[in-house]
């Protein structure tokens, strides 16, 4: 209602339709539609999704205002019927309102689950899953191999092993769980019209969305409950036996075991998390950690195949650094020296940030770039458009990893707002170290051990790069390649 108050100074707005607002101007690939609108209306715009006012931020300066200058004011996220139902009434970290509960989850996650030390402990998992991937590629011989599907499998297996201590893709039950998990991600990616045009809420009832949401929420809860019970029992057995789980062999503990420890400790006082909190956080990590990581590796390989000179330079770097006789394993120490590899990953995230647009919500009335933003307003930062802004990037649509070489800026720290694939500030991504450890290891190994071609003699420039909308933006068509094994 506040938006109607005449004395408020509002950001520029494209013309809107009655009832729909600007929804008709947003295509499937929202980051692209918003970029086009921004070219006409400027780096900060006010749109209406039906009756919901939404601020769109598409330049480094405006992003800095949201994610740094007024970070605290924008430390909430907008939530929907879907996030409430699937995230245990906002008990996960990604959508929990800013406050004591969120701070608690965030510190558990950053200190105990995704800390640099814990990521290092997960090295065995990464190494094993990367070796399995390479075996699968090798056994494909000269037949076209679907890298997209394999990257998805690898990142699912890595995150499931880290979270549960076992991968889900082997057994029948696990496969069913992964199917429901995929549905959860798809539902998160859906916008229901009733959220923005309340009198059309019945549409999601009629088209079956509400039923699917309810069914998925019940099914995923069933699986998570079973996992949690299993790990609670394990904790009790270990306590009774008092043999396992000494401080020294905690390194192999899964995330859910760590959360069960915290839950049980809390029974006698300490940091608190309840059963729903554990399930919500586990689901959050599975969702946030799998699709994003695989999308990043997938786009990196696609860009490398489109740019054979970059691929060659990267292969040279990797093969010069990892030269040991027993070439089976590329180590963390090797990876640290691979500066070109890091530049390739950064450049991929600039051109193809998996989370192309990210959302926050205003906790209080606040002024941004001289405009009035009322409390509760949803804010979308277009990370994709900012990474391609010609004001900050030379030839912004070109894949040129060299631009990140010899840079003194730590781009992943969210300090330079022309580059925010991980967001920034209080609610910036806590999974950067975890994700980069997987992405770098997989790419380095693929570069070291194989030569790469497109199937059927296709030319690099013919490679289709169409995007598929979703919570994380993937390629629309699977990335098919022919790999020739060279030394492994
Ligand atoms: C290439 C991989 C990844 C990308 C590009 C990415 C990107 C992002 C972005 C843009 C945000 C929103 C930040 C903001 O609002 O400022 C975010 C939040 C988040 N990410 Fe990631 N992410 C990745 C991997 C991961 C991984 C591996 C995990 C965990 C295992 C993870 C867990 C989370 C969580 C829990 C949040 C919500 C944080 C909060 O609201 O406090 N992410 N991520």
Indicate if ligand 1 lies below 6 Å from the C-beta of 68: no
Distance 430 CA to ligand 1 centre (A): 6
The mean pLDDT of 455-483, rounded to a whole number, is: 95
Indicate if ligand 1 lies below 6 Å from the C-beta of 343: no
Indicate if ligand 1 lies below 6 Å from the C-beta of 424: yes
Distance 216 CA to ligand 1 centre (A): 23
Distance 234 CA to ligand 1 centre (A): 30
Q: Which two tokens stand for residue 353?
A: 């940030």
Residue nearest atom 42 of ligand 1, based on CA coordinates: 431
135-162 residue pLDDT tens:
999 999 889 999 999 999 999 999 999 9
Asked if residue 17 lies in contact with residue 26, where contact means CB atoms within 8 angstroms, the answer is no
Distance 425 CA to ligand 1 centre (A): 12
| Model confidence at 273: pLDDT above 60 | yes
Asked if residue 406 lies in contact with residue 342, where contact means CB atoms within 8 angstroms, the answer is no
ipTM associated with this complex: 0.99
Indicate if ligand 1 lies below 6 Å from the C-beta of 253: no
pLDDT given for residue 249 in this prediction: 57
Identify the residue with better confidence: 191 or 374: 374
Write phi, then psi, for 239 (nearest 5 degrees).
-65, -45
**CATH number for 133:** 1.10.630.10
Q: Residue 424: which of 66, 43, 34, 103 has the closest Cα? A: 66
Asked if residue 70 lies in contact with residue 368, where contact means CB atoms within 8 angstroms, the answer is yes
| Model confidence at 5: pLDDT above 60 | no
Indicate if ligand 1 lies below 6 Å from the C-beta of 113: no
| Model confidence at 95: pLDDT above 60 | yes
| Model confidence at 268: pLDDT above 90 | no
Indicate if ligand 1 lies below 6 Å from the C-beta of 354: yes
The structure tokens 């769109």 sit at 56
pLDDT band at 408 (very low <50, low <70, confident <90, very high): confident
Indicate if ligand 1 lies below 6 Å from the C-beta of 288: yes
Going from the C-alpha of 200 to that of each of 19, 49, 193, 210, 376, the distances in angstroms are 10, 13, 7, 13, 22
The count of domains in the chain is 1
Distance CA 50, CA 20 (A): 4
Q: Would you call 249 exposed, middle or buried from its count of C-beta atoms within 10 A (0-12, 13-18, 19+)?
A: exposed
Domain boundaries, position 44 = 2-485
Distance 276 CA to ligand 1 centre (A): 21
pLDDT given for residue 1 in this prediction: 39
Of 344, 426, 429, the residue with max ligand 1 atoms within 8 A of its CB, to mutate for a pocket test, comes to 429
Q: Would you call 170 exposed, middle or buried from its count of C-beta atoms within 10 A (0-12, 13-18, 19+)?
A: exposed
């Amino acid at each position: 209602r506040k938006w109607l108050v005449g004395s408020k100074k509002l950001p520029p707005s494209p013309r809107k339709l009655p009832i729909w607002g600007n929804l008709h101007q947003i295509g499937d690939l929202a980051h692209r539609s918003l970029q086009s609108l921004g070219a006409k209306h400027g780096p900060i715009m006010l749109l209406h999704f039906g009756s919901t006012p939404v601020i769109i931020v598409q330049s480094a300066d405006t992003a800095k205002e949201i994610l740094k200058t007024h970070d605290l004011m924008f430390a909430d996220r907008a939530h929907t019927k879907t996030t409430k139902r699937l995230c245990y009434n906002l008990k996960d970290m990604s959508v929990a309102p800013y406050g004591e509960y969120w701070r608690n989850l965030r510190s558990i996650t950053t200190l105990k689950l995704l800390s640099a030390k814990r990521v290092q402990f997960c090295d065995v998992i990464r190494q094993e899953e990367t070796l399995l991937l390479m075996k699968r590629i090798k056994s494909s011989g000269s037949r076209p191999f679907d890298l997209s599907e394999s990257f998805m499998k690898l990142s699912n297996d890595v995150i499931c092993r880290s979270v549960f201590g076992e991968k889900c893709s082997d057994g029948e039950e696990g496969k069913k769980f992964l199917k429901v998990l995929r549905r959860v991600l798809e539902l998160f990616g859906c916008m229901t019209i009733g959220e923005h045009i309340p009198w059309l809420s019945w549409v999601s009832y009629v088209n079956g969305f509400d039923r699917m949401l309810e069914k998925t929420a019940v099914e995923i809860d069933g699986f998570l409950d079973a996992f949690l019970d299993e790990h609670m029992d394990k904790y009790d057995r270990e306590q009774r036996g008092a043999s396992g789980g000494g401080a020294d062999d905690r390194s192999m503990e899964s995330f859910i075991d760590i959360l069960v420890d915290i839950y049980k400790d809390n029974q006698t006082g300490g940091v608190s998390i309840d059963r729903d909190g554990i399930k919500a956080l586990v689901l959050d990590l599975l969702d946030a950690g799998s699709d994003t990581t695989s999308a990043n590796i997938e786009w990196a390989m696609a860009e490398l195949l489109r740019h054979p000179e970059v691929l060659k330079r990267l292969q040279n770097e990797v093969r010069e650094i990892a030269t040991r006789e027993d070439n089976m394993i590329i180590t963390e120490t090797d990876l640290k020296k691979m500066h070109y590899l890091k530049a390739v990953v950064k450049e991929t995230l600039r051109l193809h940030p998996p989370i192309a647009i990210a959302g926050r919500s205003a906790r209080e009335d606040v002024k941004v770039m001289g405009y009035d933003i009322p409390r509760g307003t949803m804010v979308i930062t277009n990370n994709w458009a900012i990474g391609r802004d010609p004001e900050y990037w030379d030839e912004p649509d070109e894949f040129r990893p060299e631009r990140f070489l010899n840079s003194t800026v730590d781009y992943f720290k969210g300090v330079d707002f022309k580059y925010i694939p991980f967001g920034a500030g209080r609610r910036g991504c806590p999974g950067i170290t975890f994700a980069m450890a997987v992405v770098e290891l997989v790419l380095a190994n693929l570069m070291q051990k194989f030569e790469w071609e497109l199937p059927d003699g296709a030319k690099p420039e013919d490679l289709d790069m169409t995007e598929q909308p979703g919570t994380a933006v993937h390629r629309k068509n699977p990335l098919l390649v022919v790999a020739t094994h060279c030394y492994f």
